[in-house]
Amino acid sequence: MELWLSQLFAGLGVAAVLLLIALGLTFTFGQMNVINMAHGEFIMAGAYTPYLLQGVLGAGLAGLAFGVALPVAFLVTGLLGLVLERTLIRRLYGRPLDTLLVTWGISLMLQQLARDLFGAPNVQVVAPAWLRGALDVGPVSLSYARLFTIALVTLIVVAVGIYLTRLAHGRRMRAVMQNRQLAGCSGIDTDRVDQLTFFVGSGLAGVAGVALTLLGPIGPGIGTGYIVDAFLVVIVGGLGQLRGAVIAAVGLGLLNSFLEYGTTASLAKVGVFAVIVVFLQFRPQGLVALRTRALT
């Protein structure tokens, strides 16, 4: 029982990070059909933000630096995304596979840039004092860092949900996703919506990066490890569907965690992949699919 609970908690921790990354992809991939492989490097940029801020503010203010890093990372990676969208991705709308290839090229360059700027070895971000230690619930020990990540992700999911359904900006975004031409005809400036979507999606990658610093040391290649899994979350959840992404992230996170316990970490990855291929036999469009009569 205790084992189950701690495994469940570990799975939720993995799920929270996956979800945070997949949320960003829900915007760029789901809403705009852009496969941004550089999303992983945006995560990396976000992860280096608290590291740099802690360097500037000094060790005494490590906690403050961490807190400030959350919005700063959002802005920094959001702007990175905006620049990428304006310079390259704008030329490739309607060619999703090409966006994948181009952004992979960008991701290579960003990784090397990070290696040149920060050095190849991993660095450790100092966790704020209030996130060290763990909460003991009976026999199970819940680390504050994981709890914080789960709470942060919950908050962001709720915020994104409200944004997409209640606010004018978010509604426009969904309108453009569902029918670009019609949205344009109704007076929505689709070009500006695209920019904003990309800004928000990339910004979320930055926040995910800051959250990752709580889980361990960070390095130039930190994003690549997560990005493949996060894309799987989007595929399983359904393109551009917040609800689907949440269910898929929790499902895959838990599946991975329990398979890892039952077998080994490497077999668990293969197991998750097999489950996904079988799952796609039944729901090739993902858990939550937007119904459409259009043929591709």
Q: How far is the CB of 113 from another protein (least distance, A)?
A: 8
- The CB-side HSE value for 83 (13 A sphere, CA atoms) comes to 9
Is the dihedral angle over the CA atoms 259, 210, 231, 220 positive or is it negative? negative
Q: Which residues pair with 142 in a beta bridge?
A: 135
Nearer residue to another protein within complex by CB, 88 or 188:
88
For the CB of residue 98, give the shortest distance to another protein in the complex, in Å: 5
Report the nearest approach of another protein to the CB of residue 292 (Å). Answer: 13
Query: What would the two tokens of residue 86 be?
Result: 């304006």
Where on the phi/psi map is residue 137: left (φ > 0), alpha (ψ -120 to 50), or beta?
Answer: beta
Cα–Cα dist 280/288, whole Å: 12
* CA distance readout (Å), 176 to 38, 93, 190, 243: 23, 13, 7, 19
CB of 134 to another protein, least distance (A): 29
Give least dist CB 282 to another protein, A: 8
| DSSP helix/strand/coil, 136 | strand
Nearer to another protein, 181 or 296 (CB): 296
C-beta of 83 vs 270, nearer to another protein = 270
Q: Within 13 A of 189's CA, how many CA atoms are on the CB side?
A: 5
Element (H, E) at 137: strand 134-137
Residue 10 beta carbon to another protein: minimum distance, rounded to whole angstroms: 18
Sign of CA dihedral 25, 75, 47, 212: negative
Q: Which is nearer to another protein, 130 or 273 (CB)?
A: 273
Closer CB to another protein, 112 or 186, in the complex? 112
Q: How far is the CB of 160 from another protein (least distance, A)?
A: 22
> Cα 191 vs. chain centroid, distance in angstroms?
23
Instruction: Please report where in the chains the tokens 């939720």 appear, as a residue.
Output: 12
Q: What's the Cα-to-Cα distance from 255 to each of 196, 260, 266, 274, rounded to whole Å?
A: 34, 8, 13, 12
Q: Which sign, positive or negative, has the C-alpha torsion 204, 210, 216, 218?
A: positive
Place of tokens 């469009």: 285
- Distance in Å from the first CA to the final CA of the chain: 48
Smallest separation, CB 212 to another protein (Å): 18
Which stretches of the chain bind another protein, using CB under 8 A? 29, 33, 35, 88, 91-92, 95-98, 100-102, 104-109, 111-112, 115-116, 224, 228-229, 231-232, 235, 264-267, 269-270, 272-273, 276-277, 280-281, 284, 295-296
- CB nearer another protein, residue 194 or residue 229: 229
Residue number with CB closer to another protein (174 or 269): 269
Q: 54 or 257: whose CB is closer to another protein?
A: 257
